[in-house]
Structure 1
C-alpha cells in the first residue's frame, strides 16, 4: 500500500511539474546593451516580477545597437516579434503609425499605485497620442561630453566641467581645446563622435549637437534644416576640425575614447558603466553652447509591446512593473528617468556610484532644459537617403555647401 501511495505521489509531483512547465510563459525582450552591469540590473527587476508571477520568465536578448532597429523590423515583418522591446526615439513614429504597437494605457492606469501622471508630459510626447499610450520612456538621457582628465592635465588645460562652471564652454573653446589636446597627445585625438559611429549609424548624433548650439536643427516642421545658415556654420566648423585641425577622429579611423585614445566624446550616462574599467581619470560635462545658447540634446528610448505578440497582456504588466517608481529609481543610475518624482529627488543626484553629484546636477539640468532628437515616421528611409550625401561631406576636398544642399535635396521629399 505504501509503495502504491509513494508511486501515486511521485506521479502526481511529476504531473504537477510537467503542468507547471507547460503553462510557464517566457517573455522575450530585446535590448541593445550587452553590459554585464546593465543586464544584472535588468535581471534583478525581472526577478522581482517573478516573485509575483512565478510562472513568468523574462529573457533579455542583446541585439547590437548599430543593427538594432533593422533587425527588430525584420523580426516583426517575419511574424516573430519579441514580446517587449527597447525602442529608439527616431524609430517610434514609424512603428506607431503602422499600428504595430499595443496600447499600454489601460494596463498602466489599472495598475495599483502606478501614478501615470508622474511621467513628464514633454517626455511622453513621442509615446502618447490622446489616450493611447504606445510606449513608456525608460531613458530620457541627455548627450553629455565625456572627457579624459589625464589628457587635459597633460595639455595644461581646464577641463570642460571647469570651463562650463566659468561660463567659457562654447563651440569656439571646444575647437580650440580639441586642437591643443591633439598636439599635446601625439597619436591621439581631441574628440571622437558618439560611439565612434558619427560617419555611419550615428551621423545625426554627430551633427545635431553643434547645429543646435548654433541655433538650428537637422529638420523641423517637415522642413530640412541642414542648409539653413546656422547649420551650415556648425557643419563647416566640424569639417575644419576633422580635416584642417585634425583634432576629430577622421573617417576610417577608430579613436575609442573608452580605451584612452581620444580626449573627449559625446555619450549618455548609461556609458558610465564602461568607465569603471577605464585606466584614466574622467568626468562628464554639458555640451558646449554656441550662438544659439545652451541647447541640450536628449536621446530617448521607450519600452513597447507588439500588437501581434503572443503574450501581450503579461508583457504589458511587466512594463508596468519595470516602470514603477521603485524600479525607475533603480534604473536611474544608468537611464535618466521620465518620472518627475525620481528626477527631482536627491536620490537621483546622489545615487550614481560612478558619477559625482556635481556632474549629475548637469545631467538633471539638461533633461529639464533639453529637446529630444527629432523623430519622423520615415526615419529609416531618411537616414538611408542621407547616408551617401553625408559620405560626400566627409572628404578633405569636399564642397561643403554643395554636400549640405545635397542632403536636403535627398531628404526633403521624405520629410
Structure 2
C-alpha cells in the first residue's frame, strides 16, 4: 500500500456515502488486529453492554492479522466495503486524517452524558485531534516492556532484568549478554525474540526504535532523517550482532516463540500477558533497558476510530463514545493502558489484571508517563514502503550497517 492509495479514499468517501442510506443500521462491523480470545471476550462484553440501551444493535469484531491490517483496511475502504469502526495505529493516524476517511466524532463525545472529554490526556489525544475535529480516541497508550523467562534465569543463576532495573544495571548491552548466555541450541531455546516474532518485517520499527532511542538516535527530528546518525547506527549494530555474531536472537526465517518457552526474552506490550495464562514456566516483566542516552521508554498507541464512509456513522460514533467512557476504559485497562487520566491514576488500574502484580503494572504506568510515542508522519505509509527494502538489506551477516542506514535516509528524506 502507498500513500497514493490512501489519497484515493477521498474519492471513495463520496461514492460510499451515497450507498450508506441503503444499508442496515443494526449491525456495526469493527475491525481489530487481535485474535486473543481474552481480548475478544472483553470486547464482546462491551458490545453486550451497549446492546442494553440499543437492543437492536449487534457489533461484529473482524480480526485482520497485524501485518496485513493497514493494507486490507485501506482496500476495504477504497473498494466500497468500509467497516463502521476500527482500531488504528499511531503511525497510520496522520495519513488517514489527511485522507479524510475518518469521521469527526467530537460532537458525539461532547454530547454524551457523563463522557468527560476533559479527562482524556491532552498529549495522548495529539494525533487524533486536528483543529476542532476529533478523529479518534486512544484505547491503548502502551509502553513496550521486556518479558523474560524467570525459570531460565534462575536455572542459569543470572540476575533477573527486574533486579537489574532496580540496581540500575539493566542496559541493552546487558540484555545482549543475557541473551547469549541463555541461548540453548540443544534445547531449542533462543536468547531473544523480536516483537511478536515480526521484528524483521511488519514490526521492524517496533524492534529497532526502542534501541535506537536508548542510544541517543531516532528515526527523524524536525524533518531530518536520523537513522544514519552515529548513535542510531551503533544501536542497530548491537541488534545485528545479536543475530549474526552471537546467534542469540531469533534470525529471519526461524521460529522461537517466547510465549511457548522457546525464547528467554522478548519485547512486547502488556496486552500480550494474555498469552501467558497457561505457560509452564515462571515469568517476569521489566522496563526497556537503558543505553548510553539513558532510559528511553517507547510507547505504541492505538485509537478507536469511526469511518466517514461507514454505513452507520452516527451509531458508530455512539458506540465509540460508549466504548471509551470511564467504565469501559477501566475494563480495557487490564490489557490496554488508558488515555484517561482518572483511570491511569487509580488503584484500580494497578490491580486491573489479576495476572499482573501492582508492582509490574507500575512499570507500565511509569513508561506511559516518561515515554515517547513511536514515529508517525502523514506520509508514513509511503515512508514505510520506501524504507522496507533498506531494512531488508540489514538482514545478512555481512551487511554494512552504516551504508544501509545512509541509503535509508537518502530514500526517505524527500518524504519528510
Q: So what's the TM-score if we normalise by structure 1? A: 0.93
Q: Which residue of 1 aligns with 2:103?
A: 102
Between the aligned partners of 1:263 and 1:122, the Cα distance in structure 2 is 35
| 8 Å contact kept, 1:181–1:263 | yes
Between the aligned partners of 1:23 and 1:147, the Cα distance in structure 2 is 48
Between the aligned partners of 1:182 and 1:56, the Cα distance in structure 2 is 51
Q: Which residue of 1 aligns with 2:51?
A: 50
Matched, 1:25 2:26: yes
Structure with bigger RCO (C-alpha 8 Å, 6+ apart): 2
Map 1:126-145; keep pairs closer than 5 Å.
126-145=127-146
Once the two structures are overlaid, the 10-residue window that deviates more, 214-223 or 285-294, is 214-223
Q: Which residue of 2 aligns with 1:342?
A: 343
Q: Which residue of 2 aligns with 1:326?
A: 327
Any idea what the Cα deviations from partners look like across 1:235-267, whole Å, max 9, x if unmatched?
111111111111111111111111111100010
| 8 Å contact kept, 2:24–2:311 | no
**Residue 388 of structure 1: how far off its partner (Å):** 1.3
**Residue 397 of structure 1: how far off its partner (Å):** 0.8
| 8 Å contact kept, 1:100–1:308 | yes
Secondary structure at 2:138 match in 1:
strand
Secondary structure at 1:190 match in 2:
strand
Q: Which residue of 1 aligns with 2:243?
A: 242
Map 1:298-309; keep pairs closer than 5 Å.
298-309=299-310
**Residue 109 of structure 1: how far off its partner (Å):** 0.6
Between the aligned partners of 1:121 and 1:245, the Cα distance in structure 2 is 43
**Residue 410 of structure 1: how far off its partner (Å):** 1.5
- Segments of 5+ residues of structure 2 without an aligned counterpart are 1-22
Map 1:245-256; keep pairs closer than 5 Å.
245-256=246-257
**Residue 186 of structure 1: how far off its partner (Å):** 4.8
Secondary structure at 2:317 match in 1:
helix
Between the aligned partners of 1:252 and 1:44, the Cα distance in structure 2 is 38
Map 1:279-318; keep pairs closer than 5 Å.
279-318=280-319
**Residue 293 of structure 1: how far off its partner (Å):** 1.1
**Residue 36 of structure 1: how far off its partner (Å):** 1.0
Matched, 1:262 2:269: no
Q: Which residue of 2 aligns with 1:19?
A: none
Between the aligned partners of 1:58 and 1:229, the Cα distance in structure 2 is 49
Secondary structure at 1:27 match in 2:
strand
Between the aligned partners of 1:62 and 1:241, the Cα distance in structure 2 is 33
Secondary structure at 1:233 match in 2:
helix
Any idea what the Cα deviations from partners look like across 1:179-223, whole Å, max 9, x if unmatched?
111159753211111011111111111110100111111122222
| 8 Å contact kept, 1:28–1:59 | yes
| 8 Å contact kept, 1:151–1:185 | no
Runs (4+) of structure 1 exceeding 4 A deviation are 183-186
Q: Which residue of 2 aligns with 1:14?
A: none
**Residue 23 of structure 1: how far off its partner (Å):** 6.8
Between the aligned partners of 2:262 and 2:190, the Cα distance in structure 1 is 7
| 8 Å contact kept, 1:257–1:263 | yes
Q: Which residue of 1 aligns with 2:11?
A: none
| 8 Å contact kept, 2:213–2:293 | yes
Map 1:76-91; keep pairs closer than 5 Å.
76-91=77-92
| 8 Å contact kept, 1:26–1:56 | yes
Secondary structure at 1:101 match in 2:
coil
Q: Which residue of 1 aligns with 2:5?
A: none
Between the aligned partners of 2:60 and 2:142, the Cα distance in structure 1 is 25
Between the aligned partners of 2:135 and 2:277, the Cα distance in structure 1 is 35
Secondary structure at 1:283 match in 2:
strand
Map 1:82-231; keep pairs closer than 5 Å.
82-182=83-183, 186-231=187-232
Between the aligned partners of 1:386 and 1:159, the Cα distance in structure 2 is 35
- Segments of 5+ residues of structure 1 without an aligned counterpart are 1-21
Between the aligned partners of 2:46 and 2:225, the Cα distance in structure 1 is 42
Secondary structure at 1:121 match in 2:
coil
Instruction: Number of aligned residue pairs: give it.
Output: 394
| 8 Å contact kept, 1:81–1:306 | yes
**Residue 24 of structure 1: how far off its partner (Å):** 5.8
**Residue 295 of structure 1: how far off its partner (Å):** 0.8
Between the aligned partners of 1:221 and 1:70, the Cα distance in structure 2 is 28
Q: Which residue of 1 aligns with 2:276?
A: 275
Between the aligned partners of 1:23 and 1:197, the Cα distance in structure 2 is 38
Q: Which residue of 2 aligns with 1:3?
A: none
Between the aligned partners of 1:397 and 1:34, the Cα distance in structure 2 is 37
RMSD of aligned Cα (Å):
1.3
| 8 Å contact kept, 1:213–1:292 | yes
**Residue 130 of structure 1: how far off its partner (Å):** 2.6
Q: Which residue of 1 aligns with 2:10?
A: none
| 8 Å contact kept, 1:141–1:300 | yes
